[in-house]
Copies of this chain bind each other. A is one copy, B any other.
Amino acid sequence: MPKDTFYNLAEEKRMKIYGAALDEFSNHPFKQASVNRIVKNAGIAKGSFYQYFKDKKDLYKYLIDEIYKKKITYLTPTMKNPFDMNFFDLLRDIYASGLKFAKDNPQLAKIGYHMLRDSGQEVFNEVIDEKKGEGIQIYKQILELGIKRGDIRSDINLDMSAYFLFQLGNSLSNDFIEFFDTGEEKQVFNLVEGMIEMLKSGIGKK
């Protein structure tokens, strides 16, 4: 929801602002993110910022949207036909895609990280809580699907399990980023495998 003036900007200038915004919001939660720093790093005047965006939240929503769009591109085609897949294979693919996204776009991933943490807080939730709710909802749906398919037990607590899978996925993407730097990438992906194995034996049909 930036204004037209923003989209009309020359590519280079627009990207510089975008980059500065990523820098800021990936290193600070919303409330602590500073428009002053963004404009300084983007090399534009404070007033210009408000020609492009209604306010700080406006820019933030825009970024969240971009993240969302980008993240979706990481879902493989097979994932879009969840009916044909075994629950655990599907889950593994989802987690792996999240990890890959975080690896390729560490800044975007960090913004997502802060986003989820800001979620509980404040009045400002509108956008965020919605996105979070959607995320949990998706896991709930694939759990239901898994039950119908007979992949997993039917006596599990749906809400709690969905919440758990959601947290686990985010933990993988956000918290295990540190291990990418240390060249333990393969092990992180192995972790996903191990995790799926665990889940299988834990809530899989015996």
Contacts and interface: CB of A to CB of B under 8 A. Distances in A.
A191 interface: yes
A86 to B, nearest CB: 18
A160 B179 contact: yes
Identical subunits present = 2
Interface SS of A by simple majority: helix
Contacts of A184: 157, 160
A76 interface: no
Contact of A171 (B27, B117, B167, B179): B167
Given A31-B32, A32-B31, A160 B175 contact: no
Nearest to A199: B198
Contacts of A5: none
Interface string A155-189: 00101100110010001000110010000100110
Nearest to A198: B202
A8 interface: no
A27 B122 CA distance: 9
A194 B203 contact: yes
A201 B203 contact: no
27 contacts: A27-B121, A28-B121, A29-B29, A31-B32, A32-B32, A117-B117, A157-B187, A159-B179, A160-B179, A160-B187, A160-B188, A160-B191, A163-B175, A163-B176, A167-B175, A171-B171, A194-B202, A194-B203, A195-B202, A197-B201, A197-B202, A198-B198, A198-B199, A198-B202, A201-B201, A201-B202, A202-B202
Interface of A: 27-29, 31-32, 117, 121, 157, 159-160, 163-164, 167, 171, 175-176, 179, 184, 187-188, 191, 194-195, 197-199, 201-203
